[in-house]
Copies of this chain bind each other. A is one copy, B any other.
């Protein structure tokens, strides 16, 4: 079993330590800020207890958390690792420096993966002697609940590194996908952006309220998408499948969206959406609502497994 190093003990780092330790891997957790890792391991154990209650952990949280140990330095974390999952801040100069340091001390066969959602592999790995073992493995928060992982190599990343990263994530219970060429936002955030900009425009131009638009997804569009993707959905919405669907509805869909122009979300639009959201989404209960969301996510993922 691969030995894992998780760099950074914030929300995402802790979630990754949870994912790998839950699957039985030895995890070394490192954070540049002194004393945070010990606290992080405590939080991970609490999280494992919640996951257990939701049916998303079969083992004993007390035993699982023993798979995680605090690393005393970056070198201590990665020098024996087979796979590193990096979760430092979303700044190119920070990533470049951390990857440079890791590349200097990690074993030659060790994969260096980043959780970044905005920085392409080619940018943080360029110029490193080990650039061919660098890759992005982008999770959706929180990865110990939401399984998707976008595996996005640079053009110079070794095929074997792509495959080993993919296989590792599949084995620990995630759902990896391959982003075949670098593209801003990878796949998930591009799809989200495409839907969001239409959503903002529809509210901005007074076709619908923000609350009604949310209902349209939550009680309509999102129900199928929780267990089948958009292609599978339309494949079943025409008797002969997706090509049949395209023949029937492609022209209408194209015409429906033609001539639409999107502008950046400006101050008046932001203020309009913000005030409409405040009518049904309490700002005071933001933290409580986050906890409810996480419980619902866990319950939904457990439901899908059942």
A interface list, Cβ under 8 A from B: 118, 140-141, 146-148, 150, 175, 177-181, 183-185, 187-199, 202-203, 206-232, 234-237, 239-243, 246-247, 250-257, 262, 264-265, 270-271, 273-274, 277-278, 281, 283, 286, 289-290, 293, 296-297, 299-301, 303
Contact = CB atoms under 8 A, between A and B. Distances in A.
B196 A234 contact: yes
Copies of this chain in the oligomer: 2
B265 A223 contact: no
A149 B123 CA distance: 46
B191 A231 contact: no
A293 B224 contact: yes
Nearest to A294: B236
A304 to B, nearest CB: 8
Contacts of A197: 194, 253-254, 257
Contact of A256 (B189, B220, B225, B251): B189
B230 A214 contact: yes
Contact of A212 (B177, B210, B214, B270): B177
A32 to B, nearest CB: 23
Interface of A is mostly: helix
Contact of A257 (B207, B235, B262, B293): B262
A298 B195 CA distance: 25
Contact of A195 (B195, B214, B219, B237): B195
B297 A224 contact: yes
Nearest to A290: B236
Contacts of A235: 277, 281
A225 B220 CA distance: 9
Contacts of A146: 219-220, 223
B191 A207 contact: no
Given A192-B221, A241-B277, 5 more contacts: A147-B219, A178-B209, A185-B252, A224-B293, A236-B289
6 contacts: A177-B212, A178-B208, A185-B256, A191-B217, A195-B195, A241-B283
B243 A271 contact: yes
Given A242-B277, A262-B257, A218 B227 contact: yes
Contacts of A212: 177-178, 187
A252 B90 CA distance: 13
Given A190-B202, A208-B178, A222 B214 contact: no
A183 B208 CA distance: 10
A171 to B, nearest CB: 15
Contact of A297 (B194, B223, B234, B241): B223
3 tightest Cβ-Cβ pairs between the two chains A and B = A214-B229, A148-B220, A222-B225
B192 A194 contact: no
